[in-house]
Each structure stands twice: as C-alpha cells, then as structure tokens.
Amino acid sequence: MVLPVKVKKKTVVTLRYRPDRIMKDIFVMGNFNNWNRHGNRMTDADGDGIYETRLPLDNGVYEYQFVVDKHEIFDPENKEKVDNGFGSFNSLLRVTSAAKEKAPGIFFLQSTEKNHIRLALESKTQADSAQLHVLLDNRFAEVGAKRIESGNYIIDLSALPALPGRHILRFVATAENQPGNVLTVWLKDGRALPGGEQTLWNDAIIYSLMPDRFFNANPQNDRPVQDPNLSKQANFNGGDLAGIRQKLNDGYFDSLGVNTLWVFPINKTTNKAYREWPQPHHYFSGYHGYWPVSATEVEPRFGSLHDFKEIVNAAHQKDMRVLLDFVSNHVHKEHPFFKDHCDWFGAVDLSNGEKNIRRWDEYRLTTWFDTFLPSFDYLTSNEAVETMTDNAIWWLKQTGIDGFRHDATKHVPYKFWKRLTRKIKTEVNPRRSHKIYQIGETFGGNQLIKSYINPGMLDAQFNFNQFFTARRVLVENGGNFTDLAAAVEEALDVYGYSHLMGNLMDSHDQVRMMAFFDGDLTLSDNGAERAWKKPPLQVDHPEAYEKELVFLSYLLTVPGIPVIYYGDEIGLTGAADPDNRRMMRFGAQLTKTEKRQFERVKKIIHWRKKHSALRRGDFKTLYAEGDSWAYTRGDCSERLLIALNKGGKSNRMIFKSPGFINGRKWRLVGGDGEFSFIKDTIEIKLGPFGFCLWVSN
C-alpha cells in the first residue's frame, strides 16, 4: 500500500499575560487543548512580571481564555474577543503559516470524454516544480498523469486494467516540497461514478429526529411519567415509531429531499423522573432515550422492535438509510447491567470526596453524567467491552440499520471503538451491499476529535468546531466570513479532503439558531436558564427566516455531510435543552410563513441532491470578507460557484478568478443575484441575506 503522509511544521505562538498582583497559578485553555483548565501553564522565567507560554499550532482560528487562580478571564491585550455563551468572552487567535500559501492546489476540469479525467493546477507558477501522484486503491496507478499544457493534466481511464465493481482514484499534488490537496474520484466498472448515483456516504443528507418529539400516530401508547415536579417539556410528549413510519409512508422525507434518518435512542427507559445533580436541580424523564434500562427492549411508549424494523424496511424501499443512536458510555442505574455487574462501572466519588460528575475533560473516561447514570469503566473491564460491542452488533443484525450515531464518544476509550469496528468489519460489512457508517459526538479540539477517526475506529464525528465558528459568524453583526472560510479549510486539512464529518445548524444540545436570528437570545445569554424561565414563544421577525436560509445554503454546499435537525425545515425556534426539543408540527399546524420556509429549504436540499460536485467535489474560497463569501466546487462533470451575503444590505463582490474557472459560461440554478465575468475578474451582486448557485457544465 502507498499512503500519502503529510509532515506539517506548526507555527509557534507566544501568549503573554501581566497580572496586577502575585498569582499562584496561571494557565491558558482553548479549543487547541480541549479547554483543559490545566492544559498549558504560563510561567515568568525571567521574573519580569509577564507570564508566557509557547503554543505550536496548526493554521486556523482559535478561541482561548486565561485561568488565573481558577478564575477565567479573556486576554486583556487582545482586542479581538467573542461572546462565549457563559456571560463572558473568549479571545480570538488567528494562525496562518507562510507554508500554507505555497501549498499547491489541484482542481477538476470538465471532462470532454467519459473515460478521461482532466485536472488543473491552480498556480501556473508552480507548474514546473509540481508533481501529481495518482493512486488506485492505495497503490501507485499504472497510468500516470499526462501533462497536456502548463499546469493541466489528463488521466486516461482506458489505460487502467479491467476494473469491475467499485474502486477509488486519488490525486495528490506536491510543489516546492509542500503538500497540496487530495482529490478523490470513485470508479464504477472502470469509469467515474455517475453524478446521479447516490450510493456513497458522501452523498448522505441526514435528518435527525427524536421519536417522542416528532409525530404521535398512536395515542394508545401515550403514558407520561406521573410526578408533580416534572414539567411537560421534560416529560414524554407522545411521539412514537408509528409516527415516523406514517411520515415515511406519506412521503414527507422524500419531499424534503433527505436520504438518511438518524433516530435517537429507542431503548426502554425508566418510568420515573429524576432530579439533575447540578443546580438548579431540574427534574427530567427519559423521553430523549439516553437513559437506557435495557440492552434489547424498545421503549413501550415508542412502540416495539417490530415497529422499528418496519421503519428500516420502509426506508430501504425508498433508497433511504437509517442510523440509530447508540449509547455506550453509560446506562441508567435501573439497568440490569449495573445491578448485576457493578464492577463494570467506575465510581461516582473521587478520592478527595468530590463527585466525579460532568468532569468532561479532567476525568473524561470515567466521569458520570449524573448520579443516576453510571459510566462504564472499559479500561478495567474487558467483559464490559465485549458485552456492549456485542450489543451494538445485535442491533445491526436484528434491525438492518445502516450505522450508528455514537453518543459521548470521547468519554469511551479507544479500545472500545477498535473492538466494535473490528466486529462490524468481520461480522456485518461482508453481508451488506454498503459499509456501515459510524459518526461520533465529541466536544473538544480538532486533534482530539480526529483521534477517533481512522479505518480502525469511526468514519466521522460531528464538526462542532466548524459549527461554533459558523454560529458566531452568522449571528453576530461583526462576524466575518473570513473565519468561517478558514474553518472549512481547516476541516479539510485535519479530516481529509473527502471527509464524512457531520455539519450542523442545530442539535438537541444547543440553542436553536432561529432563537438567535429572531433576537430572542444572544450568544452571551444563558440559553439553559431561558429554556425554563422565558423561552421564545414564536418567530416574530421575517428576516429571521432569511438568515436561516443563508445558514442552510452554506450547510448544504460545503464539504462534509449536512445534518438537518427536525424543525429546521420550518424555522422551529427554541432555547437550550429541553426547549430545543419541542414537538414537531405539520400541515395545518404550520403558519403560512413556515409552509413557505419548508418549500424554500426543500429547494436548497435538492441542490445538493442534484449536483454531485456539492457532495464529492473539490473546494476553494474565491472571496471572503465581512458579510460576503464566494467559493467554488467542482468534479469531473460540472463546476459550481456559490455566493452568500449574511448582511441586511445589498452588497457586491469583485475578485480575480483562478485560471481553471476562466472562460466558462455560467447559468443561475438557485437563489437570486447578478453575475458578470470580464476577462479574469468576477463581479457578483447579492441582495440582503442573499444566496446564489451558478453552474457551468
């Protein structure tokens, strides 16, 4: 096998802080060290009163704080800071190395013949020193890249040996000892996979839903928990598996355009309400599915195992796939595993008498989510590893699901994921027409998130760092698209140029974006408190829907797999958990504006379904400044140009186009804007909250 290996030289950044009095401990924490409060100590080696630390960092945009004698503060010498959602600010740090500017870029050109692939080197000045390596299924291809002119290459697929079935071509560029991007082409029977075929996980458009909050089709199984301390929004609301099946049969998901369902956990849960350990001690039920009391039983309020199998079968008949949320980190204390095998679990009490609850980073592999949710200690119990990985295989074989969304990934050790993936590859994948997909949930720095993604563990995780950047840029008036463009490039660099990372706008753990867009909350507000005391009642401002469309246009046109959280398609609002988990509404329950939003969101989703370049193509930012962003994506058959304006005023972008775009004819396929091309200069005009998609093929 031949594997491309990148050796990157990090940029060393020095952070400094001068306290106004003697301090015992000073640290810096940020998304570069997973917000570890003791991650990097600052010292005053020369006694000048200035504490320093040196950080070797990759290119990207970072947020950080100083921890001064256990108190968190932003950097007083750094004028750039952003709301952190906890009533304070994080300081911003941008890192760009000189080597990054020298990295060669290769891009697809439209192929005039079906058995040819044409590529272009972005910089003609690098043409003489550039090398293009061709790999077929991780071996050097017998056919090389033929240079047809300065910076352009052609690959003749007919020169390859007979290749029945699915194969992968990779093109790796280097120039001046710098690694460039990597382009991937999937082959089917010796030719590039047709754009209309959607069989790869790169083609997925995920719709995530919580059974209890989606649709109630069988009121006979409604049984809320009876507890005077429990509010309706933290209790069972009646949604069920029959509701999901009905919407499948009605063609709701077909109409929207999604092709993959992520169903939240369906394990049987407790019949009681429990009080959270942290203040203000709210009461919850297990309606969300994350408090399992059985390894194989389905929650009766949702339905039966047979009901879920019917959902999977119905989805497969529509060429849709189903992911099931799998909880491997913990169980509820009523679970037989905890009652009969307490030695499989860690202790909730630390040696110093404190509770090991929600110590997300300090004790990440042993911390409990709450006093009634014991966490497995897989490091000391191989029996627990075997039991829970076998349980995951049981769900795959029993239900026919196509993969998992894995809860709390970073709180489960690598040995668990390696064992599970080995079992999937040996016991399940050989019997399936497509591989099982596993996507994890980890909050932390990119390096921590990436450490779980490789052929021996998970396929992907949710790209939370890009999400947080996108949220800040698109919510704040001063948010700059330069930061979001950098975050997308960083994801390509860290996770690979054909990565399967999940890109989100909303989730069950975050304030819904519509609450920000409508002005009900700001990033500095306490969304958790508002969820209980003063949740937003409705969307009041029409422009909030326009802002959401800009976010979704970005989400559905950048690399990665887009994840639509139920309600995004109608502009559902909500503060943090549990207010972000409101009951979904349909049909006559929707306002006229919400119905219109559904139709507009549907169009954007269908852009991605129709254009393979949005699912598998290359990526390059052409212009990013302030409220404006333009970028291009292309594959063998087409080249797309996407432009966004997140501001409330019309704007204009003027920029030079790269050579591989020059001379093309463009047609508008989505949105509304003006486009002109004069020689090598592109001018784009967009209206307020505008977005456009042009295609050249």
**Which has more pLDDT, 607 or 123?**
607
Count CA atoms closer than 13 A to 319's CA, side-chain side. Answer: 10
Residue 176, classed as helix, strand or coil, is coil
Q: Which residue has the tokens 């486009």?
A: 675
CA distance 308 to 268: 13
Q: What angle do the packed helices 414-423 and 382-399 form, to 10 degrees?
A: 40
Under 8 Å CB-to-CB from 408, ≥6 apart: which residues? 327, 328, 329, 330, 369, 441
Mean pLDDT value across the chain: 94
Residue 316: per-residue pLDDT? 98
CATH class of 103-192: mainly beta
Under 8 Å CB-to-CB from 333, ≥6 apart: which residues? 372, 373, 374
Query: Tokens at residue 418, please?
Result: 């390696």
> How large a percentage of the chain has pLDDT more than 70?
99
Q: Delimit the domains of the chain by residue range.
A: 11-96, 103-192, 201-268+302-326+405-610, 618-696
Indicate whether 663 pLDDT > 80: no
| Three-state secondary structure of 54-78 | EEEECCEEEEEEEEECCEEECCCCC
Q: Which helix (H) or strand (E) holds 630?
A: strand 628-634
Residue 101: per-residue pLDDT? 67
Q: Which residues of 262-273 are buried (b: 16+ CB within 10 A; e: fewer)?
A: bbbbbbbbbebb
**Which has more pLDDT, 664 or 367?**
367
Residues in the chain: 697
CA distance 317 to 244: 15
Query: Tokens at residue 263, please?
Result: 């169903």
Q: Going by CATH, does the domain composed of 618-696 fall within 1.10.645.10?
A: no
CA 550 to chain centre: 17
Residue 144: per-residue pLDDT? 67
Q: Is 481 exposed, middle or buried (0-12, 13-18, 19+ CB in 10 A)?
A: buried
CA angle (93 as vertex; 91, 97 as ends), nearest 5: 175
Residue 163: per-residue pLDDT? 87
User: What DSSP character marks residue 496?
Assistant: -
Architecture of the domain whose range is 201-268+302-326+405-610: Alpha-Beta Barrel (3.20)
CA dihedral 69, 70, 72, 74 (to 10 degrees): 30
CA distance 111 to 134: 17
Query: pLDDT tens across 424-437, in order?
Result: 999 999 989 899 99
**Nearest Cα residue to 303 out of 392, 216, 396, 400:** 216
> Roughly how many angstroms between the first and final C-alpha of the chain, as a whole number?
35
Query: Tokens at residue 216, please?
Result: 């109630």
CA 521 to chain centre: 23
Residue 183: per-residue pLDDT? 95
Query: pLDDT tens across 170-213, in order?
Result: 999 888 878 889 999 999 998 899 888 899 999 999 999 999 99
User: What DSSP character marks residue 562?
Assistant: E
Domain 11-96: which topology?
Immunoglobulin-like (2.60.40)
CA distance 293 to 374: 12
Torsion sign, CA atoms 127, 131, 137, 142: positive
Torsion sign, CA atoms 612, 616, 617, 623: positive
Please enumerate, as own/partner, the contacts of 367-370 that have beta carbons within 8 Å and a separation of 24 or more: 367/411, 368/330, 369/329, 369/330, 369/408, 370/274, 370/276, 370/277
Residue 679: per-residue pLDDT? 82
CA distance 466 to 446: 10
Domains 11-96 and 618-696 share a fold: yes
Query: pLDDT tens across 512-566, in order?
Result: 999 999 999 999 888 899 999 999 999 999 999 999 999 999 999 999 999 999 9
DSSP assignment of 649-663 equals S-EEEEEEPPTTTTT
**Which has more pLDDT, 599 or 636?**
599
Residue 44: per-residue pLDDT? 94
Q: What is the mean pLDDT of residues 323-333?
A: 98
CA distance 104 to 618: 13
- Asked whether the beta carbons of 261 and 323 are under 8 A apart, the reply is yes
Residue ranges in 535-683 assigned as alpha helix (H) = 542-555, 592-610, 613-616
Query: pLDDT tens across 70-86, in order?
Result: 899 999 999 998 887 77
